[in-house]
Amino acid sequence: MYNIKNPERLAFIRKMIEERGIEEVFSLEEAKNKKIVEIGNNVNIKNGTVIGTDGWGYERNENDELEKFPHYGKVIIGNNVDVSANCTIDRGNMHDTIIGNGTKIDSGVHIAHNVKIGKHSRIGAHSVLLGHCEIGDFVDIWTNVVIKEGIKIGNNAVIGSCSFVDVDVPDNSHFISEHKKIIHDFKKK
């Protein structure tokens, strides 16, 4: 079995839990009441969207069991933002998840912990922005895109539909990943 273990990270997690505890949030109203979510003016959030819950963070311990990584950050949503139905926007773990003014998010999008999205960007349906991504201003991310953790997308960039982005994309660039090849032919033995 292949398991990634990071003893230093695990020690840090345990120290944070000892000092601050774990406080999970299960609804937008609860997140607002606990000041975990800040929502600007003229923000539209459609039904089924979940904002401010913990991201997906676990670390393997000495026995290969998973221990939860606590989340202490917020979700900060700017003004004039639209979030369509059935999206998830996780709170940050040690930093905040931020959505800039005027950004529009289509249905079924997942925005992980510590993601930062600039102003007036568009994110297409069923896209996934993994932890610590940084999206610039005036970016267009079309449908079914996956952006790997820690990737930076520059200002005015366009990410084509169904792309898997695992490299930084500079300002004013158009990125598309194409996989137009058969990787396995089941008829051949």
Residues annotated as part of the active site: 113
Cβ atoms of 117 and 132 within 8 Å: the answer is: no
CA neighbours within 13 Å on the CB side: how many for 119? 5
CA-nearest of 123, 117, 140, 131 to 87 is: 123
Give the integer Cα–Cα distance in Å for 43 and 172. Answer: 28
Instruction: Report the 3 state secondary structure along 49-96.
Output: CEECCCCCCEEECCCCCEEECCCCCCEEECCCCEECCCCEECCCCCCC
3-state secondary structure of 156: coil
